[in-house]
Amino acid sequence: MSCGTGSRPGSSPRVRARPKFLETLPPPPQALPTFAQEIAPPDLSPWLTDHCGIPGVVHHEATRPGPHVVLTALVHGNEFAGAIVLDRLLREQVRPACGRLSLVFANLEAFARFTPDNPVASRFVEEDMNRVWNRQILSSPRHSVELDRARAILPVIETADILMDLHSMLWPGAPLILAGATESGRRLSTMIGDPPLVVSDHGHQAGPRLIDYERFSDPASPYAACLLEAGAHWATHTVETTDSAVRALLRHCGLLIAEAEPPATPSHQLVVTDIVTAQTPCFRFVRPFQGGEVIRRRGTLLAQDGPDEIRTPYPDCMLVMPNLRPGRGQTAVRLARTLPSRSP
């Protein structure tokens, strides 16, 4: 079994089936499609010098007290829409009206390796930087490019009151905010209100994300974090979605004063009930699903994973960020249902 985080009534989405003969043969390798690239990597050279003791990290502090807000981009080196927005804020000389604002360009070595000819190759250098965020891993004797960089920026993370981690998607899907498993993350995400789709989840089997770090994931902690998935990696609209969400967060925290604050968009809140992990190299979806797609009927076949069928375990099941080419051990899709409304 590869799914089952969270609580969910009903059967598992993974059903053992008797495969047909052709399904027992190794599938032919599937090449990645060609992805449109509407944006180019930003020039970050002004921000890579030692501004505050850590290259690629810029702080600005107001005279008035307030929260320490941390914005992180480039945790994955080929997801640079967030870096474009942070670069934009720095070039506009945006300063916090209160508190402290830290802008972090995380995986600089992976970003430096980006090439339009193979844009997916620079996600990381040695390991996924968004799977190393717990104290045991960070304090271990192990080294990698990503782990060492995580240790370098850890002092900033350890002082954050509010953190937003800026990401984008390889496969098509509706923009969303991942709130993690805590009430504080969900509350922060819904208060931002842009994008309005908020998904509570429990992360990945492969390791903890930045928003899962103990400072933010402890239910008793006063600190909060969320992860923005703003759209397709290299699309112009992803930059604008990121910009809108970042400025909404800064307004919400009081760091950015707007003359006329736009009305909040009602959020659509969901909770992930199952994380489907590919158990074999033969995982195949029955069709190219998109993130945010809602499957109305329970028991609808989504994918075949070796001898297992992956079916929707309940009606009105939302597919969260399906990975149409998952490797063995990778998250293939998360299944989510609408969070029940709470009584006032």
What was the pLDDT predicted at 206? 84
81-114 tens-digit pLDDT? 999 999 999 999 999 999 999 999 999 999 999 9
Instruction: Count CB neighbours of 94 within 10 A.
Output: 17
Question: Whole-model pTM?
Answer: 0.90
pLDDT at 269: 94
Three-class DSSP labels, 243-271? HHHHHHHHHHHCCCCCCCCCCCCCCEEEE
CATH number of 45-253: 3.40.630.10
Chain-centroid distance of CA 202 in Å reads 12
Residues 234-278: pLDDT tens digits? 999 999 999 999 999 999 999 998 766 666 667 899 999 999 999
The pLDDT value recorded for residue 7 is 44
H helix intervals, 161-319: 183-192, 214-217, 236-253
Question: In this predicted model, what pLDDT tens digit does every residue of 13-22 receive, in sequence order?
Answer: 988 766 554 4
- Please say whether the beta carbons of 105 and 47 come within 8 A: yes
Q: How many CA atoms lie within 13 A of 260 on its CB side?
A: 0
pLDDT above 70 covers a percentage of the chain that reads 88
Single out the residue of 324, 303, 322, 321 nearest to residue 312, CA to CA: 303
Residue spans of the domains in the chain: they are 45-253, 271-338
Q: Cis check for the bond before 29: say yes or no (omega within 30 of 0).
A: no
Q: How far apart are CA 162 and CA 342, in angstroms?
A: 24
Crossing angle (nearest 10°) for helices 236-253 and 183-192: 110
pLDDT in tens, 147-206: 999 999 999 999 999 999 999 999 989 999 999 999 999 999 999 988 999 999 988 888
Which of 89, 127, 126, 121 is closest to 105 using CA atoms? 89
CATH of domain 271-338: 2.40.50
Same fold, 45-253 and 271-338: no
